[in-house]
Amino acid sequence: MRPPGPGSVTAAAPPAASRPPEADIRRAAVTVVTVASLALGVTAGGWAWTVDRRAEDEALRAAADERVAAAALAVDADRSAAAVGAAVLGTAGAASVRTGSRAALDAAVAQAGGTLASSAVRVDDDAVRQALAAVLGAAEQEAATASAVRLRALAAEVAGAERAVVDAVAAHDAAQAAQAAQAAERAAAERAAAAASRPRATSPGAPAAPAPADRSCATTYSGPAFYTSPPTDGGDGSNGRLPASALTAVSWTRDSRGTPFYLRSDAAAALERLNAAFRAALGHDLALDLTYRDLDTQVAMRAALGSVAAVPGTSSHGTGLAIDVPELPCTYGWDTAARAWLVANGPAYGWVSPAWARQGGSNPEYWHYEYRG
């Protein structure tokens, strides 16, 4: 639209309802400035401008006027859209959106909390678990007052931190499995080498030659044979006197005489879970040698082995809270994959290698583990 010039007829303005107030204000301001400029021009000589210059200025004014009108219309459109959105959504709708966002966050927090608990001692660098714990703490603090948008952002942060822990656990388990496979290969190679070096009979029916001097993978136990004990008939629940009601047999193995391996019921349940994880990681069940030991067996072992065996009535085996794996150094010894896995992962199931039984402890026993809950 052009401003009125001398002798021109001003077109009728469109109805006020069809134009935004801001446009009218800016149009009026432009008109006033234009009229004032024309008046000044007339006073100073009016028609000194050339026709081309005047046409150019009028075109610039028209473009500016159109931009002002367009901007005003855009502001009105934005305000109208916001008003319509608020009317449609309403307070109840906004509350519903926030409720859904909070439910999504709560679900993410619950899942991540379970991952955090189950990943203890199953990552090589605990920093990822600490980061997840920090994100969970922040989400718990903000959740009560956070907006729907912030709740969704918190859920995404929790999910991302949990994914880092899941990836770390997967990497740890893969490394453990690879280590176990390498240990199994070494043990197989050692057995094959021992068999190959054993002298063979020179003729049919000749007596077998003695085993070679190198028995590095043979059992380290050289005392008399002892076996795990069944529940004590009429037991009073004291050390070495546990009745059947206090004990449960593990499901996957028995001793060489066919006696089940009994443990206190909670310890047995925890060992079942541990064995499932052990089997998944190393490819075979955990072997057992001794579990519950009654008082009579404790007395016999003390007499045969001396101070190596616990004082009768004080053994952790008498409480049903200890196991011995076979004394096979190439399978369960200090530097084996099985022991590394048990020491690293056993505590997650309540089973530990006590300090006194570790290398450098007061009575090193690589085969001994205890349930601490």
Local confidence band at 76 (pLDDT 50, 70, 90 cut-offs): low
The β-bridge partners of 254 are: 260
Q: What is the mean pLDDT of residues 34-59?
A: 50
The residues, ordered by sequence, that sit 6+ positions from 113 with a Cβ below 8 Å of its Cβ are: 136
Local confidence band at 53 (pLDDT 50, 70, 90 cut-offs): low
Q: Which span out of 108-112, 120-124, 309-313, 342-346 was modeled with the highest average pLDDT?
A: 342-346
Tallying the residues shown for the chain, one arrives at 373
Q: Would the pLDDT of 305 be above 70? A: yes
Local confidence band at 193 (pLDDT 50, 70, 90 cut-offs): low
Choose the weakest-confidence range: 4-13, 20-29, 107-116, 243-252: 4-13
Local confidence band at 338 (pLDDT 50, 70, 90 cut-offs): very high
Q: Would the pLDDT of 83 be above 60? A: no
Q: Would the pLDDT of 197 be above 60? A: no
**pLDDT in the model for residue 35:** 45
**Residue % of the chain over a pLDDT of 90:** 41
Query: 3-class SS at 200?
Result: coil
Tell me: the pLDDT tens digits for 132-180? 999 999 999 999 999 988 988 998 998 899 889 888 888 877 777 776 6
Choose the weakest-confidence range: 193-202, 233-242, 344-353: 193-202
Local confidence band at 8 (pLDDT 50, 70, 90 cut-offs): very low
Local confidence band at 121 (pLDDT 50, 70, 90 cut-offs): confident
Q: What residue ranges do the domains of the chain occupy?
A: 16-91, 244-371
From the list 77, 167, 80, the residue with the least C-alpha distance to 125 is 167
The residues, ordered by sequence, that sit 6+ positions from 129 with a Cβ below 8 Å of its Cβ are: 116, 119, 120, 123, 165, 168
The β-bridge partners of 322 are: 370
Taking all residues of the chain, what is their mean pLDDT, rounded to a whole number? 77
The residues, ordered by sequence, that sit 6+ positions from 365 with a Cβ below 8 Å of its Cβ are: 324, 357
Query: b/e string for 74-96 if b means 16 or more Cβ within 10 A?
Result: eeeeeeeeeeeeeeeeeeeeeee
- Quickly tell me which residue has 């009601």 as its tokens: 245
**pLDDT in the model for residue 223:** 82
Query: b/e string for 234-246 if b means 16 or more Cβ within 10 A?
Result: ebeeebbbbeeeb
Question: Roughly how many angstroms between the first and final C-alpha of the chain, as a whole number?
Answer: 87
More confident residue, 1 or 26: 26
Q: Would the pLDDT of 214 be above 50? A: no
Contact (Cβ atoms closer than 8 angstroms) between residue 209 and residue 200 = yes
Q: Would the pLDDT of 30 be above 50? A: no
From the list 259, 258, 275, the residue with the least C-alpha distance to 267 is 275
Choose the weakest-confidence range: 5-9, 187-191, 323-327: 5-9
Q: Would you tell me how many other CB atoms lie within 10 Å of the CB of residue 307?
A: 8
**Is domain 244-371 given the CATH code 3.30.1380.10 in the classification?**
yes
Q: Which span out of 4-13, 85-94, 346-355 was modeled with the highest average pLDDT?
A: 346-355
Choose the weakest-confidence range: 58-62, 119-123, 272-276: 58-62
Q: What is the mean pLDDT of residues 183-195?
A: 60
